[in-house]
Each structure stands twice: as structure tokens, then as C-alpha cells.
A and B are shown apart, each in its own frame.
Chain A
Amino acid sequence: MDEENTLLELNNVSTAFKIEGQYYNAVSHVDLKVKKDEILAIVGESGCGKSTLATTVVGLHDMKTTKISGEAFFEGQDLLKMSDSQLNDVRGAKIGMIFQDPLSALNPLKKIEDQISEVLDYHTKMSTEEKHNRALQLLEQVGIDEPKRTARQFPHELSGGMRQRVIIAIAIACKPDLIIADEPTTALDVTIQAQILDVLRDIQKENHAGIILITHDLGVVAETADEVAVMYAGEVVECGTTEQVFGDPRHPYTRSLLRSMPQGDMDVLNDDLYVIQGSVPSIEKMPQAGDKFAPRIPWIPASAHEKEPTMHEISAGHEVRCTCYKDFYFKSLEVKDV
């Protein structure tokens, strides 16, 4: 792998939250690499730790109740060891963030232009006129038809898709090398979603940035990402290129998820969807050792699982956690709640 192109390298990153005096891992032992000119998608269901991983990287946790270990190298520096003031210079300038809910991420009392200038004020020494021009240029870049008009408007005057475009404009204002997008299209309609994803892709090409796209939508991943990491219960269970993970899924969780998606050719009345047995345990009840997905595929014998699951490379760049994938098969199940 080309080391020079690596933007962000996570080594053994774990994040633990303190709940009633005890620490529980929300993210455990994650190794990932984000390269320049590439979209890495982190995909998983709610509670799998995908957003926690992102907020850990940019240091948004309250350190009084959080324990973070591991390394996150970004341009030669370890983000996890930086002080707040050091982080403030990186966040917004070299790393841009896009959050799910565009309305709560924008200040309702400020005009769009002022919200964009705020970032420029903090990280650059532009004159008022330069800032004004840059703001209009950014709005145009994210596909807003009348940048001059939008710049003077307030967030509530814009539609959901427009707001998300403004958020993207703010995130890319300082031409960051890395953009972290946490469920950027979840609150939007499909047609708007497609437009926003196009904007993200275009921007990535123009700025040669790397993007971490966090989402639960497998379709979005398959259509946008270059690399995919599937997370379950705080761990990466499978990673590789999009072609590898979707074309040849190996981990039981990845295979089950893909199988539980509605397929077009099913009979409307009689065909049921595949259901993963059981449910994700809460963070306090999560098994601390062994394969965390094992309780949900109980028909696979314990001997098939590793005691200390590690990642196994099955082809160049395609890795799967635990050895149980070799023995995994689907069992048709009566739907029962346990």
C-alpha cells in the first residue's frame, strides 16, 4: 500500500465510556486507514460505535467520562494526544465535519454567509471582501443556484437539502484534507440524497480530500464508497474495497445484513425477509471476550469461533474478523423474540 497517500491511520483505537463507575468499550481495537482521494465508508447499525469512532478521532468527547487508547496519525501527528487548542487548529481547517441533522448544526440566528465566514475568521486572515467572495464561491461549489440570495438567508428559510449543502460548504471552507461525514443524507429524500452524494464526490475529486462516510444505508455505501469497513458492537468485522465487501461478503454479519434487505423479486404476500436472530446487547451486557456476533448465530458451533478473534486477510486488502466465516451457513428461522 502506498504509505504517502495515507491521510489518517488508526491503530488499535478504543473508546470506553464510564457508566456507573465502570468503563465499557463502545469502540474496541479499530485499525483503519483513510487514503487521499478516497471515500471510506463505515457502515453498521445504530449503537455499533461508528459515530463514536468519528467523534473520538476529532476529540469531541468529555475526557472525564471517556477513556481513549490507541493512536490516530493524521499528517504525522497523533490526534488522540493533542491538546484542545492544538485540535482547534486542525478541526475545521484540516478536518471538516458534516453531521446528520443540518438544522441543529446551524445557528438559527445567523445568516448563512456569516456562518461560513465564522470558520474563515477562525482559521484564515481573509479580508471582509475576500470572505464574502469565498462564501459565494463555496455556495456555488455545493450546487446552490442563487448563492447571493442564499447567503443572506437564515437556516429556517432553506429546505433540508439546501441546509445540508450549506453544512458541506462550511465543512470544506478551509479546503480540508479529510472530511468526516456522519450520516449526511439520512434525513433527506432519495432524490436530494443522490444530489448531496454527488456534491460530496465532486468536492473530493476537486480538493483531493479523503472522506470518511458514516452511514447505516448499505445502498449509499455501495454507490459512493471506495473502501468499506463494517462495524458490529464496536469492532470492525470486515473491511476491504466496496467490490470485495459487497461482491464477496464473508463475515456472517455482513452476509446477514445484505440478506435482510428487501429484494425486488420477492412475493408480496408470502416471502419473508431474513431476520438476524436476537438483538444487539446493550453496552453493559456486551461480552468482553470472544466473538461478539457468536450469540446471534448459535447454530454455528463454538469451536468455529476464535477465542481472541483477529482480522484474517482473505485476499489483498479484504479482511474478516474471526475464523467462523469459514463454517458459516444460513439457517432458516422462525421469527422469535428472545
Chain B
Amino acid sequence: MSLIEIRDLTVHYPIRSGFWNRVTDVVRAVDGISFDIEAGETYGLVGESGSGKSTTGKSVVGLEQITSGLIKYNGVDITKKSTRKKHNYNQNVQMIFQDSLSSLNPRKRVLDIIAEPLRNFQKLSAEDEKIRVLQLLETVGLSPDSLYKYPHQFSGGQRQRIGIARAVATNPQLIVADEPVSALDLSVQAQVLNFMKKIQREFGISYLFISHDLGVVRHMCQNIAIMNKGRLVEVGTREDIYDDPLHIYTKRLLAAIPEVDVSKRDERMENRLKIEKVYQEKAKQYYDEDGLAYPLVQVSPTHFAALPQDKLAELTGQKRRDT
């Protein structure tokens, strides 16, 4: 049994208009997606802005009212607030946000910020609480004198680590990390990513790692789902996605990542323009009449892609020829 099982999750936002302000249409932010997160793994959710990846993350934590579908935690559906409470879900699932400055209360000291989840879920004495917070600060590599400082007194990377300390405070099993490093400089990004891995090794935490940065995702995640217009277009292991992308959207996304290897620059650009051309010409074939991705089909034990029937037939034919 997986730690988290998501089945046919949909989140629709109503559009109201007209004299009676009736619901005339909906925005399908998340439109029927399913995936599993195993205990102790980092699951990558990749997509461009507006793909619905953050909405998915928020629904998993319970910050978003879902329209339909199931989110199972250890086999129990926790889409209802009362069941979440009963199964200590809110304590076991935490979140790290992208913007560390706006996710920390500017008027609270670090002690109060990190102790907040402790105060919510565990009844500790003032002294125990302080000891726990100091422990947490040590885990994320901040000095004990940070205890009585305010968020603005820290740099971006340090603030992000305070956010991580707060998320780890209740010993959660899953942390939803929504673009945790995209606002950080390269050297600080390395620090934060290392801390996330260190904590994962120490406490066996799972991450739902939401990012648009395919380089970082490749570094962090074993399993990856690519999201496009509210649907998943490709799901697979790191190797499946990076070495053998099947959907045109994934191919295009991978081709667009700039790389530091200067010697292959022209080759890469040619490849990118080629894929872009194919995308412009054939993108329609990969989406249905409404411009949405097809349902996922299995192509290997770990690899799923949203391919239309004819592409799939082509693919299996090709595989048969290869073997």
C-alpha cells in the first residue's frame, strides 16, 4: 500500500456570470489525475505555470476544496476534514512554500514560527518546546541564537530552511514542497536541496516535489509525473522520463532546458528547433478535440504516457521491430 494514493482528483473553479451570478462554466485546474507516493520517496510533479501542479499540491495538504476524486492516506480516504483530523493527517502531512518571506509571519520570532505546529498538535512544556525547536534549528544548520530573531533578519536560503524546520517539526511522513528552491540562488539552492535530502535520509520522509525546473527534479526525484493543462501527460521513473520521453509535450519541455555544456550547443539548438517544429505541426494529434491530453496508457511496467491510439500502435510496432 502506498503512503498516498490519488485517484481521479479533480479541482474545478466555478466561473460565475450573468445577472443571477450563476455558475456558467468551470476552470478545470486539475482534471482527473491519479498517482501514488511511496513512503520515503521523492515524487516529482512537473509542469509549466498554469498546469495545475500547485493546486494538486494544495489539495493533497487539504488547503484546497476538491471537486471529486479520492486522496487515500495509508488506505483511508481523507478528502473529508473530519477524517483528516481523526487520522492525524494534518500533523503527518506538511508543506514548504515557494516564497519564504511571505510564508513566515513577519511579526513572529523564529521560536514561535517553528513551535506553531508543535503547539497545535503536541502539548509540550515551554522548556521541552524550546529544546525541540533548538534541535530542529540544528538539523537545518541554523545557529541557536536565531531563536529570538525575526524572519527579515535572515537571508533567503536561511528563511527557506526555517520553513523546512517548521515543516519537519511534527515528524511528518509527507512534505509537499511547492517550488522550494525556485526563488533561490544556485549556491543557496544546493544547500537547501542537500538539507531536504539529509532530512529524508534521517527521518524517512516522503516529498511531493513540485517544480518547473527539470534539472532540480532530476536531481531529487525517483518518480516523476509531467502535468499539462490539468492532466498528466506522462508518468514514469526518472530514467523513463529523461531517457525515453514519449509524449510530445515532455519532449519539448526536455529540449528547452538550457545546459552548460557549450560544446554541444549547436547540436542541442538544432534538436530543439526540430522538436519545436514537430510540436507545432503535430501537437494536435496528441490532444483530443478539447485540446486536453488523452488518458494515460501503460507502455512499460513503470512508464505511462497519454498517447492516442494510433501513436501507441506505432510505438508497439517500433518496439517489435527493435527486438
Task: Report the separation of the CA atoms of residues A45 and B194 in the bound assembly, to the nearest whole angstrom.
Answer: 19
Q: Which residue in chain B gives the minimum CB-CB distance to A219?
A: B258
Binds A, one of B87-95, B163-171, B210-218: B210-218
Given contacts A246-B260, A269-B200, contact A191 B191 (CB under 8 A): no
Given A189-B212, A191-B256, A262-B219, A223 contacting B268 (CB threshold 8 A): yes
* Residues of chain A contacted by B219 (CB below 8 angstroms): 262-264, 266, 268, 273
**Cβ A247 vs Cβ B262 within 8 A:** yes
Contact with A along B180-216 (1 / 0, CB 8 A): 0000011111110111011011000000000010111
In whole angstroms, how far apart are the Cα atoms of A229 and B172 in the complex? 44
- Whether, in the assembled complex, B143 has its beta carbon less than 8 Å from a beta carbon of chain A, the answer is yes
Q: Is the CB of B197 within 8 A of A269?
A: yes
For A194, the closest partner residue in chain B by CB is B256
Interface size of B by CB at 8 A reads 50
Residues in B neighbouring A258, C-beta threshold 8 A: 260
B299 at the interface (CB under 8 A from A): no
Complex Cα spacing A282 to B190, Å: 20
Given contacts A190-B256, A222-B260, contact A273 B193 (CB under 8 A): yes
- Taking a contact as CB atoms under 8 Å apart, the answer to whether B260 and A275 are in contact is no
| Residue tally, chain A, CB below 8 Å to B | 41
A242 at the interface (CB under 8 A from B): yes
Taking the nearest CB of chain A, how far is it from the CB of B241, in angstroms? 11
Known interface pairs A45-B186, A268-B238. Does A218 touch B272 (Cβ–Cβ under 8 Å)? no
- A213-264: which have CB < 8 Å to B? 216-220, 222-224, 242-243, 246-247, 256-258, 260-264
A243 to B263, CA, bound (A): 7
A194→B272 CA distance, assembly (Å): 9
Secondary structure of the B side of the interface? helix
- Within 8 Å by CB of B262, from A194, A222, A273, lies A222
In the complex the two chains form, is B258's CB within 8 Å of A222's CB? yes
Beta-carbon contacts of B20-51 to A below 8 Å, as 1s and 0s?
00000000000000000000001000001100
A285 within 8 Å of B (CB atoms): no
Q: Please tell me if A128 contacts chain B, counting CB pairs below 8 Å.
A: no
Given the known interface contacts A160-B49, A190-B257, A264-B218, the answer about A275 and B187 at a Cβ–Cβ threshold of 8 Å is yes
Distance from B270 Cβ to chain A, minimum over Cβ atoms (Å): 12
Is B220's CB within 8 Å of the partner chain A?
A: yes
Contacts of B147 in A (CB 8 A): none
Q: How far is the CA of A36 from the CA of B220 in the complex (A)?
A: 41
**In the complex, are the beta carbons of B142 and A337 less than 8 A apart?**
yes
Question: A268-B220, A273-B190 are contacts. A243–B262 as well, Cβ < 8 Å?
Answer: yes
A270 interface residue per 8 A CB criterion? yes
Within 8 Å by CB of A335, from B195, B252, B253, B257, lies B195
Cross-interface CB contact of B190 among A46, A191, A274, cutoff 8 Å: A274
Smallest beta-carbon distance B19→chain A, Å:
25
User: In the complex, which residues 45-85 of chain A have their Cβ closer than 8 Å to any Cβ of chain B?
Assistant: 45-46
User: A310 contacts the other chain (Cβ, under 8 Å)?
Assistant: no
Cβ of A141 within 8 Å of any chain B Cβ, yes or no, is: no
B259 in contact (CB, < 8 A):
yes
Which of B155, B186, B253, B268 gathers the greatest number of chain A CB atoms within 10 Å?
Answer: B186
12 extra A-B contacts, CB within 8 A, seeds A194-B276, A223-B258:
A191-B256, A219-B258, A247-B263, A257-B186, A262-B215, A262-B219, A268-B221, A269-B200, A269-B201, A272-B197, A335-B194, A337-B141
Pick the 6 closest A-B CB pairs, nearest first: A219-B258, A262-B219, A273-B190, A45-B185, A260-B190, A189-B48
